[in-house]
Structure 1
Amino acid sequence: MAGLQNAALAQFRVEVSGVGLTQVPISIAPFKGQSGSIQKISAIVQADLERSGQFRTVNASHGALDETSLPDLSVFRQAGSDALVSGSVTTLSDGRLDVRFRLWDVVKAQDLGGQSFAVAAADARLAAHRVADYVYEKLTGDKGAFSTRIAYVTKSGQRHQLWVADSDGENAQSALASPEPIISPAWSPDGNQLAYVSFESRKPVIYVHNVGSGKRRLIANFKGSNSAPAWSPDGKTLAVTLSRDGGSQLFLLSAAGGEPRRLIQSNSIDTEPVFSPDGRSIFFVSDRGGSPQIYKVGVNGQGVERVTFTGTYNISPAISQDGRWMAYISRLGGAFKLHLMEIDSGNVRALSDTSADESPSFAPNSKLVVYATQFQGKEALMTTTLDGKVKARLNGQNGDIREPHWGPFLN
C-alpha cells in the first residue's frame, strides 16, 4: 500500500486521570480565529500539557487575547496561574494556516517569547503540538515530545493494520493492511522507517518500511522464524531473533540486508533485543535461568549480565533515551503489569493497576511511557508518567489495539 491513508475510524479520545505531585498551573486562552476550525489549537495544547503530568489547567475570566496582546497578568495571578499562553490562527491566501503564540510567566510578569508556524490546513494538529513542545521546554527545561509520532497495530476481524499517528493517537494513517498478523513495529532512529514482522507469507518475516513513500524491503526471511527487530542508535544495524539454527537466538543484521551475525552462542531461548542508547549493549529476554528474565550483553556478544531479579517472569524491555530507566512487563500471579527500573540502582516500581499490560515504549524525551493494556474488556493504549501518577487513555474506536512504539524526535 503506497504512502499513508487517512482513517477516521482510527481516531482516539484522550482521557487523563490522576494528579502529579508538582504541576505547573497554566492558563491557555482560546486562540483568536480558531472558532471556525475543526481543530481547536488551544484545546490540543491543553490536552498535550495535561497528558504530560507536568501541568494543570487554570481557567480565568479575561477579554480577547492573541500573541500581540499585553494581558493583565494580575487576573491570571489571582486565579492561581503561573503561566499564560495566548495566540491566533489566520488562514493565508494560499490556504495555509498561520499559527502564532506567546508564552507569559505570570508570576514574574515576563514575556517568555513565542513562535509562528505556517502550515497546511491538514497540519493544524502538528502546529498545536509544536506550541505545546515550546511551552513544555520553556517551563520544565526538558524537550517536549508532543510533535513526535507513535506506531501501533490493530486487529479488526481478520484485518490487521499498522498505523502511524500523532503522539496523542490522533491523525492516524494506515501504513499497511494485511489479512495476516503484523507485529513488533520499531521506528528507525531517523523516524523515516519502520521495521516490523509480517506473517503474510505464512511465517514470520521482517520488513523495513519507508513511512513517507510506502515502499518496503524484505530484510530477513531465513529458515524458521524471523522476529523482534530492534534498531541500533546509528540506524545501520538491526538486532533480530532468528530460529534458522534451531531455537530462538539473537543475531545482528545490516539494515541493508545480507548475512546475519550470531550475537551469543546459547542453548536458551533468547529474544526481544533492544539496544542501549549508547549502542554498546543489547538488553534481551532469556530463559537461561529457568524462567524468562531480562539480561544485557555487549554488542560484541561478551559479558552477559542478568538485569531483573524481582519476580519470576520479566519480558519486553524498553530503555529510555537518557539511559536511566528500563520499562518492562512482569507477571505477578496471573497479571501482567508494567514496571519501571532505575537501571543504576536496580530499584523497581509498578506503574499500572491493570493486569494485561504489554509492549512498553518510552517517549524520546524519556518522560512518558506508552503501552498496550486491556481496559474495560478492550485493548487500548495508555501513557503514564514515570511515577505512575498521571495516565492518559488513548481509546481506539475500532478493533483491538496493541504493540505501540514511540518514534524519535524529528528534525
Structure 2
Amino acid sequence: MSIIKRFLSVFIVCLMQIQIAHAALEIVITEGTNSARPVAVVPFKWLGVQPKPKDMTDFASVIADDLRNSGRFSPLERSLMPQTPATESAVDYAAWKETGVEAIVIGTIKPLQDGRLQIHFQLINVLSGFKNQTPQKIDEQLVKNNDHIKLNLKGDFSTRRPRHISHRLSDYIFENLTGTRGAFLTRIAYVAINYDDKYPYKLLISDYDGMNQHILFRSTEPVMSPSWDPTGKKLAYMSMEDKKHEIWIYDLITQKRELIEPYKGSNIFPVFSPDGSKLSMVLSKSGQADVYVYDLKTKKLDRLTKNRGIDTEATWAPDGKSIVFTSERGGRPQIYQINLESKKIKRLTFEGNANLNPSISPDGKNLVMVSLQKGKYSITKQDLSDGYVQKLTNGRLDKSPSIAPNGSMVIYSTVVKGKQVLSLVSMDGRFKAVLPASDGEVKAPAWSPFLTSKKN
C-alpha cells in the first residue's frame, strides 16, 4: 500500500441542526514566549450607573489572551500592574516604565440606552509617553506631543457577541504593533471524536481560540476535510451518507446544504477557489485519483491531471492561477504545482522521504506541508523563491496544516499522549501551543478567512 493510501482515509457524515457544544478547546502555550514583547492590557473601566453585570465578558482579559496566543506578546499579569488607569491623563508613565512594558491598552465601557455598549480604548507607547510628559517649545509656544497615543478608538457595539468585540479590538492592536493584520476575529472548522457518544464523530466550528463552539454535523461514522469559502459563510466537506464518497456544501447562514453532483468512485478533498466560484477536488471516476476543478455556476468539470500515480490533496494558490497537489508520479509522494492556464506541471519539493498536505501562505511566498523524515511526520515550510526548507514541528504524526489568513500561524492535527489534538505553530517555528479537547479528540482543522473587511 502506498504512503498516500496509508496517510489518507475517507469518512461518513450525518447532518443535524446547529447546536452549541458544551466542551470547548483551550489554548495551552508550550513554547516560544521568551522572545515575546512585554505589554499590558488594563481592565476596562465600567461607566454605567448600575453595577456592571457579573456575567459580562472581560474584554481586557480576552484581548490579553489574544495577544499572548499570537506568540508575539507577553501581557503583564494584573497583580503586577502599578495602577489601572482608564484615561491617558491618569497614566503614571514613570511607574509603567519601571515594569518594562512596551505599550499599555486602557479603555472604558459605557452602557447605552438602546442596550449597546460604547467602548473607548487607547493603545499607548509607554516610553514615548514618558518622554512626552514635558511639553516642547514650538514657535514660542509650549505644545504637548501626543504621538505616544498609537490608537484612540471609540465605537458602539451590540452585546450579542462580546468576544467578537474583543477579538476585533485585538486585531486593531496587533496590526498597529506589528504592521500585520490581526486574525483573532476568525474561526476554525474541525472534527471532534468521542467514541462514547451515540454519534461519535462531529463537525464543528469555533472562534480561533476554541471558544463559541458549535456543532454542525454528527455521525456514527467519521467526518473529513472541511474547507471554507472565501466569505467564511460556507463549508465544503466529504460525506458517504449515501454509501458513496460525495461532496457537499453547507451554508452557515441558511443551515442548508447542497450536494455537488457525485461521480463514479471517490469524490474527496473539496477546496474553494480564492474567488469562491469553483471547487478543486479529487475524483477517481477514471479509475485512478486525479485532480479536477468544478465550476459551481456552470457545473462544468475540468480534469487537470492524468497520471498513473495517485494525485490528491489539491489546494489553490492565493492568486487562483495555479493549484498545488500531492502526487506519487515520481515514485514517492511529493508536491507539484499546475498552472491553470498552460496546464504545465512542475515539481516543488525534493527534500525528505515524502511531502504531503500542501498549502501556500496568503502572501504566496511559502509552501507549508507535512514532511516524512526518519519515520516521523512533521510540519515544514519551504520558501518558494529559493527552496529553503524549515522544520516547524517535531511531532511523530503531525498532519492537516491550515494557515491563518494573515499568514502568521499554522493550525494542525497531532497526537499527544495517544490522543488526537489540534496544535498551533508560528510561521517562524518559535511559538507553539496545543488545543486539547476537554472531551474526546479533535483533528482535521481548517482556518477561516478574515470575517470582516479591512476597512471595518
Provide TM-score, normalisation by structure 2: 0.85
| Distance across 1 between alignment mates of 2:186 and 2:89 | 30
Q: 2:83 matched to which residue of 1? A: 63
What's 2:49 paired with?
Answer: none
How far 1:27 sits from its partner (Å)? 0.9
Match of 1:73 in 2: 93
Provide the secondary structure at the position in 1 that maps to 2:173: helix
- Report if the CA contact (8 A) 1:384-1:391 is conserved: yes
Cα distance, 1:374 vs. partner?
A: 0.8
Residues 182, 199 of structure 1: 8 Å contact kept: no
CA contact (8 A) 1:329 1:336 kept: yes
* Aligned pairs (5 A) from 1:216-227: 216-227=257-268
Deviation at 1:259, TM superposition (A): 3.7
Q: Tell me the SS of whatever aligns to 1:4.
A: strand
Q: Any idea what SS the aligned residue of 1:12 has?
A: coil
- State the match for 2:103 in structure 1: 83
Measured against aligned partners, the alpha-carbon deviations of 1:110-168 in whole angstroms (never above 9, x if no partner) come to 11123344444341111111111111011111100000111111122242211111111
Mark the CA change 1:172 to 1:301 in structure 2 (over 3 Å): closer, same or farther. farther
Counterpart of 1:308 (choices 337, 349, 360) is 349
Higher mean displacement: 324-333 or 145-154: 324-333
Contact 2:311 2:325 in 1 (8 A): yes
**Correspondence for 1:253:** 294
2:41 counterpart letter in structure 1: I
Aligned pair partner of 1:44 in 48, 62, 81: 62
CA deviation vs aligned residue, 1:309-330 (integer Å, no higher than 9, x gap): 1112111001111011111111
Q: How does 1:216-365 map to 2 (within 5 A)?
A: 216-256=257-297, 258-300=299-341, 302-365=343-406
1:239-295 Cα offsets, whole Å, 9 max, x none, are 110011111011110124624111122222101111111111110000000111111
Rounded to whole Å, the distance in 1 between the matches of 2:220 and 2:116 is 38
Q: Is the Cα contact below 8 Å between 1:296 and 1:304 reproduced in 2? A: yes
Query: 1:144 is matched with which residue: 174, 182, 192?
Result: 182
Q: Provide Cα deviations, 1:163-183, integer angstroms capped at 9, x if missing partner.
A: 111111111111222223221
Distance 1:89 1:356 in 2: 46
Name the CA distance, whole Å, in 2 between partners of 1:130 and 1:288: 45
Is the contact between residue 162 and residue 182 of structure 1 (CA under 8 Å) also seen in structure 2? yes
Contact 1:273 1:283 in 2 (8 A): yes
Would the alpha carbon gap of residues 28 and 405 (structure 1) be closer, same or farther in structure 2, given more than 3 Å must change? same
Uncovered stretches (5+) of structure 2, i.e. residues with no partner:
1-14, 47-51, 130-147
2:205–2:215 Cα contact (<8 Å) kept: yes
Cα offset, 1:301, TM superposition: 5.9
TM-superposed deviation, 1:61: 2.9
Question: In the alignment, which residue of structure 2 is the partner of 1:155?
Answer: 193
Structure 1: stretches of 5+ with no match in the other structure: none
Q: Deviations for 1:172-197, whole angstroms, at most 9, x for unmatched residues?
A: 11122222322111111111111111
Q: Compared with structure 1, are the counterparts of its residues 114 and 199 closer, same or farther at alpha carbon in structure 2 (3 Å cutoff)?
A: farther
Letter in 2 for 1:221: P
The answer as to 2:125 corresponding to 1:101 is: no
What is the deviation of 1:38?
Answer: 5.2
Distance 1:152 1:368, change over 3 A: same
2: CA distance, partners of 1:256 / 1:159? 35
* Cα distance in 2 between the residues matched to 1:299 and 1:72: 59
The alignment covers a number of residue pairs equal to: 410
Distance in 1 between residues matched to 2:89 and 2:216, nearest whole Å:
43
Shift of residue 92, structure 1, vs aligned partner: 3.8
**Counterpart in the other structure of 2:39:** 26
1:67–1:100 contact (8 Å) kept in structure 2: no
Kindly tell me: are residues 281 and 402 of structure 1, through their superposed partners in 2, closer, same or farther at Cα, counting changes over 3 Å?
Answer: same
Whether the 8 Å contact between 2:205 and 2:213 is mirrored in structure 1 is yes
Q: Residue 107 of structure 2 contacts residue 122 of structure 2 at CA under 8 Å; is this kept in 1?
A: yes
1:22: Cα distance to partner?
A: 4.5
In 1, the alpha carbon distance for the partners of 2:88 and 2:250 equals: 44
Contact 1:229 1:241 in 2 (8 A): yes
1:390 and 2:450 correspond: no
The answer to whether the 8 A contact 1:3-1:213 is kept is no
Q: Secondary structure at the match of 1:371?
A: strand
The one-letter amino acid of 1:74's match is: A
Q: Which moved more, 1:115-124 or 1:287-296?
A: 115-124
Q: Which moved more, 1:32-41 or 1:179-188?
A: 32-41
The match for 1:208 is 249
Distance 1:40 1:377 in 2: 35
CA separation in 1, counterparts of 2:429 and 2:103? 25
CA distance in 2, matches of 1:19, 1:69: 35
Identity level (%): 34
The superposition leaves residues 62-108 of structure 1 with CA deviations (integer Å, 9 ceiling, x where unpaired) of 33322565311221111101100012334444444443321101111
- Residue 6 of structure 1 pairs with residue 20 of structure 2: yes
Query: Hey, which bits of structure 1, 4+ residues long, moved more than 4 A?
Result: none
How far apart, in 2, do the equivalents of 1:387 and 1:130 lie?
A: 24
In terms of mean alpha carbon deviation, does 68-77 or 127-136 score higher?
A: 68-77
